[in-house]
Every structure is written in C-alpha cells, then in structure tokens.
Amino acid sequence: MNELRSLRNALRRGPVIALALSVSLATISPVAAQSLTDRFKSLFGGKSDEPAQPKPAPAPGQPAADDDIDCPQVTVRAGASTYGVGATGKPAVGNDVRFQASITRMARECNRNGGEITARIGIQGRVIAGPAGAPPSVEVPLRIAVVQGGVGEKVIASKAYRTTVEMSQGGSVPFTFVAEDLSYPVPSAAVADSYIFYVGFDPQVLTPEPKARKKK
C-alpha cells in the first residue's frame, strides 16, 4: 500500500518538475560577441522608419531633453536607388549590363553627445549579375547625407562610403552596410522636423581624384 502511495506522489510531482526544467532552459541564452550582421539586425529591430510619435513640449524656458531630438527619417535620394555597370566602354543597358545594385531596406539610429548627434545608418541591398557577366567581386559606392529640407535644401553633412560584394555563381547576392560615423550639430527645435537622411549610390565615390600638378 505504501509503495502504491509513493508511486502516486511521484506521478503528481512529475509535471511540476518537467515544467520547472523547461522554464529554466528557456531563460538560458548563449552570450556571443556581436558581429556586423548582429548589430545590423539590432539596428533594424530597435528602430523603425515609422514616423516618431509626438512628445510633450518642454516647459516654457526649458531646453529640449535629449529624447526630444528625433532621429530624422531615412529615404533613398531620387535617382540614386540603383547602380549599374556596363561592359568596358558601354553603358549599362540591355545585354551590356555587367551587374546592377539596388537598395532594398534602410534603418537609422541617433545618439546625442553634447552638441552633436552621431547617426548609425544601415543599408541592405542586392547585386544582380547582368548578361555581360559580373566580375568575381564588385565595389558598391554609397553616399549618406543629412539634409535640412525646405524650399532650398541645405546639406548639413555628407559622407561617401564603399563596400565590396563577393559575387556568387547564382548571380544575385545581398549586401549589408552600416555607417556609424555620420555626425552633425544638434539642430534647433525650429528646424529639427525638416531634417532627413538621404542614402543612395554615388558613382563619383569610385572616381580617382585628379593628381595635383607639379609646380615648375
């Protein structure tokens, strides 16, 4: 009789023990160094391109808090959403296209430090091989700028970047790039809402600078 009672008690405790074990396992997560891809995923996961929610205005005579400086929206500059390269001496049209790159997704994050804002801008895109055949690796030229919009746009800061993409036999390769060093002065509350981040391809980035002429 005692053995039967012990068996019943063990069966009652079984589900509780199993549940406790499953909860403890669920709370354990491995700690690993963040790679560039991890940071980019975090950037996309933590910030959205949705318009920021309105925040209460500071009290009269009080400066805006750090959190009140919104991170400008990010968009692709008109005419700079694709980048194509043709065969030597030919335009990137039809069967002469070697490869074409496009931007598929963007994200941004802003951090204020004193009188400056440093932005992290993430760009995802894809490079597709063309009929003329892409090289084993291609250089993708990018430019990111923060602009004060309005009747006459004003460029506040602009930086050029390049990233190398290794092509595959499939001919369609995604690429990821995160710029972490775009800084600009904190805008006044009167113009902060007109600021915007522009991203796009800029072939001039790959153009070698002209050599300075030697003085006679």
Domain boundaries, the chain: 36-50+68-204
Tens digit of each residue's pLDDT (9 = 90 or more) over 8-51: 454 344 443 333 333 333 332 333 334 445 655 666 554 433 33
- Other CB atoms within a 10 A radius of the CB of residue 73 amount to 15
Residue 95's pLDDT band, with cuts at 50, 70 and 90, is very high
Q: Given this model, what pLDDT does residue 16 score?
A: 37
The fold of 36-50+68-204 is Immunoglobulin-like (2.60.40)
Of 149, 196, 195, 193, which Cα lies nearest the Cα of 54? 193
Residue 127 has pLDDT above 60, yes or no: yes
Residue 208 has pLDDT above 50, yes or no: yes
Residue 211 has pLDDT above 60, yes or no: yes
Mean pLDDT, residues 76-83: 94
Is residue 150 within 8 A of residue 192, CB to CB? The reply is no
- Other CB atoms within a 10 A radius of the CB of residue 189 amount to 13
CA angle 54, 50, 59 (to 5 degrees): 15
